[in-house]
Chains A and B, each alone.
Chain A
Amino acid sequence: MTASLPSRAGIGLRAPHYRAVLDDSPELGWIEVHSENFFDGGAPLAMLQTLAERYPLSLHGVGLGLGSFDPPDAEHLARLKALVDATRPAAVSEHLCLNHAGGRYANDLLPLPYTAAMLDAVAGHVARAQDALGRRLLLENLSSYLAYPANEMGEADFLAELVRRTGCGVLLDVNNLYVNQRNLHVDVAAFLAALPADAIGEIHLAGFSERDGLLIDTHSQPVHAPVWALYEQVLARFGPRPTLIEWDIDIPPLSTLVAEAARADACLEAVR
């Protein structure tokens, strides 16, 4: 157990590499896993507990859907709480996304309306989740492919206000920001300026793919050059932060992920 993640690079650990990381303990600053893959215990949890003794651990949830108008599912929250208690991670994060309405789930990271009424609802959900977990959550910005037509503010303003109201932190996904800049013409400079520097607890890097002229956040590629450039800009503004390499589709050999993490470590070193 570690009090907080180190400002170094880590990797998102997925099933194909569980065995290799257990056997070889590669040099990594920290690891992150998807919380839902370790719910309820059993063999996956036992393995995660072993890993948590060797690396600072981050739990990254994809299923709570705190940006839904309906409150988060109490059972899902209780299962997350049990996992947090069993692994005592250095960080716990969720996405600022919609994933359910009226009891139906999209199991995706959907955009939400950025309005004052939505902010009231989401701040309540975040406070409730943090109370249940007994700790601070980091909330991640999204890649979006469409937007609510009557937004009253931008995603970064919404996040900043959530930080102010609930004390949560921000997980800044630089690839998502780049994808939104290209697809939705989000103003990157204004986005970064709106975020409170103290709240940035973690950074994500990943690769996108392109379909029908849209950039899709597929986590299926090496980090692209313009995303590395934006990452350096982010570090220049916020200083070194724990940084994750995420890869979820067409997962390459572990050595490729470790090399990408080393590149992020070099960027972090340059701003220390």
Chain B
Amino acid sequence: MNDSPEARWQAALIAAIEGRADDGFDARGLAVYRNNYRVGLADTLAYVYPVVKALVGDDFFAGLAREYVGRTPSRSGDLHRYGDAFGDFLAGFEPARALPYLADTARLEWLVHRAYYAPDAAPLAPDAFAALAEADWPRLRFALAPGVAVFSSPYPVGRLWLYHQPGAPADWRLEPDAGGDTVRVARRAGRVEVGVPAPADAAWLAALAAGDTLEAATDAALDIDAGFDLEAALVGLLRDGLIARLLVP
């Protein structure tokens, strides 16, 4: 850390704006920057977490955002990277305990946000599979397209998310014992899609996303459902452009 007066003044100004210190800056000017800081980061959270906001209401969300911003400095010049730990914060924040599904809802929304801004992957060559030897198949692994994520929660957060999208039925209900969801997040043709696949498909994709071989992933799916259709699952993944590369052993 540079110890010149200029460097110290800059660090002190940012600390004062965050509210960590108040080292004699012009109060009226500092108030403008503090307001920009708080409003800017809170607006960012509202943009990334619209479902959490809808679940708790504007006022409670404003309180959550204020608390999170106060605890969590920004670490990037790209504001789209702010808010990644909001789900973890909610999990540990006492006033949010009454809504135990809130943290996982936020974690899912972060994955949706990241998927939207994920880099493009070049599409897999149509003949990529044709070049494989038969012996390669069992130990084949996939690099999935950037942004593809599989997320499991003991709460029905996939359904909750879907019920908060435009066009969802107005009379949706989730019973307290609705069970958990394993959610697939992926971007297709510029739109982020959230889906709740059948348990065997979810386990298959989760295993592939974790880097398991095709054989191990398929065994995991078959353990759940002996009728798991590998060919249909593979065709679906290809059709949706979710395989970036084949990792041949």
**CB-nearest residue of chain A relative to B44?**
A107
Q: Given known contacts A43-B187, A117-B4, is B28 in contact with A106 (CB within 8 Å)?
A: no
Instruction: Write the nearest CB–CB distance from A77 to chain B, whole angstroms.
Output: 10
- Per-residue CB contact flags for chain A residues 29-51 toward chain B (1 = under 8 Å, else 0) read 00000001101111111100000
Instruction: Write the nearest CB–CB distance from A263 to chain B, whole angstroms.
Output: 28
CB of B21 closer than 8 Å to a CB of A: no
**CB-nearest residue of chain B relative to A115?**
B6
- Per-residue CB contact flags for chain B residues 141-163 toward chain A (1 = under 8 Å, else 0) read 00000010000000000000000
Chain B, range 19-43, C-beta contacts under 8 Å to A:
25-26, 28-33, 36-37, 40-41
Instruction: Write the nearest CB–CB distance from A267 to chain B, whole angstroms.
Output: 30
Instruction: Write the nearest CB–CB distance from A199 to chain B, whole angstroms.
Output: 24
Stretch at the interface among B89-97, B115-123, B166-174: B115-123
CB of B9 closer than 8 Å to a CB of A: yes
Chain B residues with CB under 8 Å of A39's CB are 78, 80, 117
Q: Is the CB of A113 within 8 A of B75?
A: no
CB of B249 closer than 8 Å to a CB of A: no
Stretch at the interface among B10-18, B50-58, B213-221: B10-18
**CB-nearest residue of chain A relative to B11?**
A101
Q: Is the CB of B28 within 8 A of A214?
A: yes
- If over half of B's interface residues share one DSSP class (helix, strand or loop), that class is named, otherwise mixed; here it is helix
Residues of A in contact with B, size category = 35 or more
Q: Is the CB of B76 within 8 A of A106?
A: no
Chain B residues with CB under 8 Å of A211's CB are 32
Q: Is the CB of B37 within 8 A of A107?
A: yes
How far is it, in angstroms, between the C-alpha of A7 and the C-alpha of B5 when the chains are bound?
Answer: 41
How far is it, in angstroms, between the C-alpha of A41 and the C-alpha of B78 when the chains are bound?
Answer: 14
Q: Given known contacts A98-B10, A101-B7, A112-B10, is B116 in contact with A42 (CB within 8 Å)?
A: yes
Chain B residues with CB under 8 Å of A118's CB are 6
- Per-residue CB contact flags for chain B residues 72-99 toward chain A (1 = under 8 Å, else 0) read 0111111110100000000000000000
Chain B, range 95-148, C-beta contacts under 8 Å to A:
116-120, 147
Q: Given known contacts A36-B80, A103-B75, A108-B33, is B6 in contact with A117 (CB within 8 Å)?
A: yes
Q: Is the CB of B77 within 8 A of A104?
A: no
CB of A73 closer than 8 Å to a CB of B: yes
Q: Is the CB of B10 within 8 A of A69?
A: yes
CB of A268 closer than 8 Å to a CB of B: no
Q: Is the CB of B40 within 8 A of A108?
A: yes
How far is it, in angstroms, between the C-alpha of A70 and the C-alpha of B11 when the chains are bound?
Answer: 10
Q: Is the CB of A104 within 8 A of B73?
A: yes
Q: Is the CB of B77 within 8 A of A65?
A: yes
A40-B118, A42-B116, A105-B76 provided; 8 other pairs, C-beta below 8 A? A40-B119, A42-B117, A43-B116, A43-B190, A76-B76, A106-B37, A108-B36, A108-B37
21 A-B pairs within 8 Å (CB atoms) are namely A37-B80, A40-B119, A41-B119, A42-B117, A42-B119, A42-B120, A42-B147, A43-B116, A63-B77, A63-B78, A65-B77, A73-B76, A98-B13, A100-B14, A103-B75, A107-B40, A107-B74, A110-B33, A113-B6, A144-B29, A216-B32
